[in-house]
Structure 1
Amino acid sequence: MKVTRIVANIAAADIAAARRFYGDVLGLDILMDHGWIATYGAPAQMSVQVSVATEGGSGTPVPDLSIEVDDLDAALEGMRAAGFAVEYGPADEPWGVRRFYVRDPLGKLVNILSHRRATAPPCPTIPGH
């Protein structure tokens, strides 16, 4: 599994608590660690975005952080195996994502998501398409 996008910064009294969640389960590397700040990431180029919302969609609370992954089922299995309780989902949302919510060790609500692949209807003029 690889993370393809992270959205947000997290304030924490103890940055070491984040290692199990972001490093061990999500598989992010520590790119920088100065003791007072640890930056997790991956060698892949990532999109950077900031979202502002009144709700999290489908009547859910606004998550503190959204992390897009390439394999949602693997992320879900990893979170459950590590003992992190899923608070919402997994759910296929009408806007084209499959996702679940989980709390990190710092108490932040994290939206783990994957975009569903669109399946085009067969083309009547080109057999097999």
Structure 2
Amino acid sequence: MNDRWQLALAERELRARINKQWLANGVTMVDPRQTFIDVTVQIGKDVTLLPGTILQGATVIGDNCEIGPNTRLIDTVVGSGSHVESTVARTSTIGKNAHVGPFANLEPRSSVADNAITSSFYDGQQ
């Protein structure tokens, strides 16, 4: 690499290879060009990733989840059946069948219980 343009091209190629592998393994990506997944991430079966999803570090996504749009998860565990939208989470745990977002910001070491609903707009009623 001689400059940032070459670095950007290399990053784009690596992202395309990683995303192609996940697509071949059954992960749905609405727009792979707008989906960023580190090689260290683990993703379960029947997961849908919407545009603007960024999965980093030791993030683990359970089966049957929907992540995004515009969501960044860093070293975060998401339980099966959960929906996480327009959220930023770092070193957090999201339980099974939880709904997080939109516009949630989970502080480091946060925990969302199984079946919980949380967002910037949630009023506590179901």
Please give the range of the TM-score, normalised by the shorter of the 2 chains.
under 0.3
Given the two structures, how large is their TM-score scaled by the length of structure 1? 0.23
Q: 1 or 2 for the larger relative contact order (CA 8 Å, sep ≥6)?
A: 1
Given the two structures, how large is their TM-score scaled by the length of structure 2? 0.23
> If you compute each CA radius of gyration, which structure gives the higher value, 1 or 2?
1
